[in-house]
């Protein structure tokens, strides 16, 4: 287990042969010796927190929204000596330090709770998530059953599919829809990450002379996720 720290949060980072990068701005993280950890790790600094500057970290669900190709989920903390703004769902700081990759959400939750119990302050929303993880999974639940029963798991799946959209066209009518916090989820065989499939609803109005008619094409939109998708599969394993 990683060292206990304050304000443990999550961040999506792209893994390359020469190190870690922030996916949106392609900023490379520096390899440094972190005295607070007593070992080498990765860190990123910014000059100040003016405007929208700073290094951001947040909840698991929010971090999943920034996952791109070659990205993985990491636990990060603000440098104890850095200027940091703390929120209810995350923080931004002038210097962030990587604790390690979050290969197991259960282990990440246990670290957050252990740090909190040892007196290290944590982010409110992330601490709430970590407490939830202590009652997940329930014995014998499959990935499909876990998605059906757990609001938090559904939020994680939808967050990972965030940004996907699709458009339906019929004649002159069209409608575009994207993933929302209520998009249905279907668990399928395989290990594919969440993806939006199907078509949104469409309302089409026809009129010819005195005759008019409105047709409704029902939505078939849903998020498909593989039952062996690693973050979901890990929640079905108690060890």
At residue 216 the predicted structure's pLDDT band, cuts being 50, 70 and 90, is confident
Q: What does the pLDDT read at residue 17?
A: 92
Prior bond of 137 cis (ω within 30°): yes
What's the pLDDT at 211?
A: 78
**Contact residues for 224 (Cβ-Cβ < 8 A; gap 6+):** 185, 186, 187, 188, 192, 194, 195, 197
In this predicted structure, the answer to whether residue 201 has a pLDDT above a threshold of 90 is no
| pLDDT given at position 138 | 58
DSSP 3: P
The per-residue pLDDT for 140 is 72
Q: What confidence category does residue 210 fall into, taking pLDDT thresholds of 50, 70 and 90?
A: confident
Give the pLDDT confidence of 115-171 residue by residue, as tens digits: 999 999 999 999 999 988 776 655 578 889 889 988 888 988 998 888 888 988 877
Instruction: Give residue 169's pLDDT.
Output: 81
Find, among 204, 202, 207, the residue nearest to 168 by Cα: 202
pLDDT of residue 120: 95
How high is the pLDDT of residue 2? Answer: 62
The confidence score (pLDDT) of residue 135 equals 63
Contacts of 32 (CB under 8 A, 6+ apart): 40, 41, 42, 43, 97
Q: Is the pLDDT of residue 1 over 70?
A: no
Residue 88, SS3?
Answer: coil
For residue 35, the model assigns a pLDDT of: 87
Distance CA(221)–CA(184), nearest Å, equals 7
pLDDT attached to residue 215: 82
Q: Choose from 34-48, 68-82, 84-98, 128-142 the range with maximum mean pLDDT.
A: 84-98
Q: What is the mean pLDDT of residues 180-202?
A: 92
Q: What is the pLDDT of residue 8?
A: 97
pTM: 0.76
């Amino acid at each position: 287990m990683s060292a206990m720290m304050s304000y443990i949060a999550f961040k999506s980072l792209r893994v390359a042969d020469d190190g870690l990068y922030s996916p949106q701005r392609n900023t490379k993280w520096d390899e440094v010796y972190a005295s607070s950890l007593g070992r080498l790790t990765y860190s990123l600094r910014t000059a100040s927190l003016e405007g929208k500057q700073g290094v951001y970290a947040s909840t698991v669900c929010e971090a999943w929204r920034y996952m791109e190709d070659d990205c993985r989920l990491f636990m990060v903390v603000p440098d104890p000596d850095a200027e940091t703004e703390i929120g209810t769902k995350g923080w931004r700081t002038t210097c962030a330090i990587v604790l390690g990759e979050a290969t197991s959400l259960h282990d990440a939750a246990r670290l957050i709770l252990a740090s909190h119990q040892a007196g290290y302050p944590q982010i409110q929303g992330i601490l709430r998530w970590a407490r939830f993880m202590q009652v997940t999974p329930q014995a014998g639940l499959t990935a499909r059953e876990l998605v059906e029963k757990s609001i938090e798991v559904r939020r994680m799946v939808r967050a990972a599919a965030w940004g996907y959209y699709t458009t339906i066209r019929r004649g002159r009518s069209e409608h575009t829809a994207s993933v929302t916090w209520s998009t249905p989820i279907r668990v399928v065989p395989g290990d594919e990450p969440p993806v939006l499939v199907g078509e949104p609803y469409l309302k089409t109005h026809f009129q010819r002379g005195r005759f008019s008619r409105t047709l409704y094409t029902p939505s078939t939109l849903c998020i498909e996720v593989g039952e062996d998708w690693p973050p979901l599969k890990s929640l079905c394993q108690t060890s």
